[in-house]
Each structure stands twice: as structure tokens, then as C-alpha cells.
Amino acid sequence: MRIWALALLAINLAAQTVEIRSEFWTPGLAAAREIISPAVARNAFTTFRVIAKGVSKYNLCVAANPDDVFKVVVYGADKKPLPFPCADDLTESHLIMDVWTPALAPVARIRLEAQMWFDDRWIIYPLEVRVQDARVPEKRIEGWLGYLCGKPDPKPSGMTERNYRQDVAMARSLEDRLGRETLVREIVTRLGAPAAEAWCKAWDRPPGLSGERYLKVRDYLYSAAQPVQ
């Protein structure tokens, strides 16, 4: 009987977790990308989802080491910023963590943690964030429809559209070195289209911009922006 009680306790403890996922995570996503050591560009925002599981009320802290590189804001369900670095008596199961990496941030690995306090114990999800040499230009005036199709972009709304425009600015900055033709081919392939023309025909619902598949585009841009050894 005691063994069964201990097993049940272990299951309950395991069910209470905090996780960090990509900005494209949704509750119904079957196979979410595991976020352990994400790459981030400098002079750019990176957005994550913080997911609290198995708890009804909890406290959440965000900590970094060193603590003077990132600017972090966590938003609740009402899209209002929570107190930083700790917020108490939270009930939302999903939060948004928006991380700003300054232009002059060191190219280094920095620890960033979501720390959940529940039932008199800490539950921690650590990230080893890899700050890349890649730096997003200041000019961020177009999205993917403008860049790939020459069509008017939707009015910017929300963090994801802002982040798309960062990526487009990065792509623009790589054209002189890699060539626009190469960039466009690599980007649309990762978006799941055989060519830019095919992708642009679906301009009202362009494929590849609404799920974690898009992260392949960002991975490519950050890798391409690394200095040539």
C-alpha cells in the first residue's frame, strides 16, 4: 500500500511542471519543439510561451545569469505586463515571455529560467540562451508578403508580426552577401512552398507562417548571418 502511495505522489509531482515553448505553441499542438538552448539575434525581440501545468495558483519568477543582458517582460492573458522579476498568485496556464536582446549584447551563452513556486517548492525550467553574432537592422518596415511577393503587408499587430519584420530585415541585410535569389529560394523552401510564386498565390493564408515550421526560416537566417570563418 505504501509503495502505491509513493508512486501516486511521484505521478502528482511530475504532473506539476513549468515549461517554455516557442511563440507558435498552441494548446492543441501535438509535437511542440522542445526549447532548451534557443538562438537569439541581437537588437531583436524573441518571444516564448510559458506554460504552467497541473497547478491552479502559483508564483512565477524569471531569472537570468548574468542578469544585465536581457530585458524580459512577461504578459498575462489580458496582455498586460506582470510584475518583474516575480509575480504572485497567478492562475493563467499560459503566459507570454518577451525577451529583448540589445544590439551590443555579448555573443555568449546566458542562462534564463522560469521559476515556479508551488506547494512550498520551486519548479524550474532552465534555458541556455545562445546570443548570436547576428544583429537585426533598425529598419523594419516590411513583412514577408512585401518581401517575397511585392504585395502590401497586413497592418502590424502583435508580437509575432513584429518578429516577422525583424526576420525580413535580417534577410534584406544578407542579400549583398548571399544574393536575393538564393535567400528567397531557401526561405520559401522552409515555408513549405516549391517557389515564391506558389507561396504568394496563397497570400490571404500564406503557408508556413502560422506554426512552428516557421522556426526553420529563423534558424536559417541566424545561421546565415554568422561570420564566415
DSSP letter string over 104-167? T--SSEEEEEEEEEETTEEEEEEEEEEEEEEE--S-----HIIIII--PPPPP-HHHHHHHHHH
C-alpha 85/C-alpha 99 separation (Å) is 13
* Residue 226 confidence (pLDDT) above 90: no
Regarding the domain delimited by 15-135, which CATH topology (the fold level of the hierarchy) does it fall under? Immunoglobulin-like (2.60.40)
pLDDT, residue 25, reads 93
pLDDT, residue 62, reads 98
Is residue 106 within 8 A of residue 69, CB to CB? The reply is yes
Question: Does 202 or 76 have the greater pLDDT score?
Answer: 76
Is residue 114 within 8 A of residue 125, CB to CB? The reply is yes
pLDDT, residue 170, reads 97
CA-closest candidate to residue 78, choices 95, 57, 101, 53: 95
pLDDT, residue 5, reads 39
Looking at every residue in the chain, the average pLDDT score rounds to 90
* Residue 2 confidence (pLDDT) above 60: no
pLDDT, residue 47, reads 98
Interval 140-175: pLDDT, tens: 999 999 999 998 888 878 999 999 999 999 999 999
What are the residues whose beta carbons fall under 8 Å from the beta carbon of 214, sequence distance 6 or more?
24, 190, 191, 208
* Residue 9 confidence (pLDDT) above 50: no
The stretch 169-195 carries a mean pLDDT of 95
Q: How confident is the model at residue 10 (pLDDT cuts 50, 70, 90)?
A: very low
CA quadruple 155, 159, 160, 164: dihedral, nearest 10 = 70
DSSP letter string over 49-67? EEEEES-SSEEEEEEEESS
Interval 74-111: pLDDT, tens: 999 899 999 999 999 999 999 999 999 999 999 999 99
* Residue 1 confidence (pLDDT) above 60: no
The structural domains of the chain, with segments of one domain joined by +, span 15-135, 144-224
- Quick one: how far is CA 178 from the chain centroid? 25
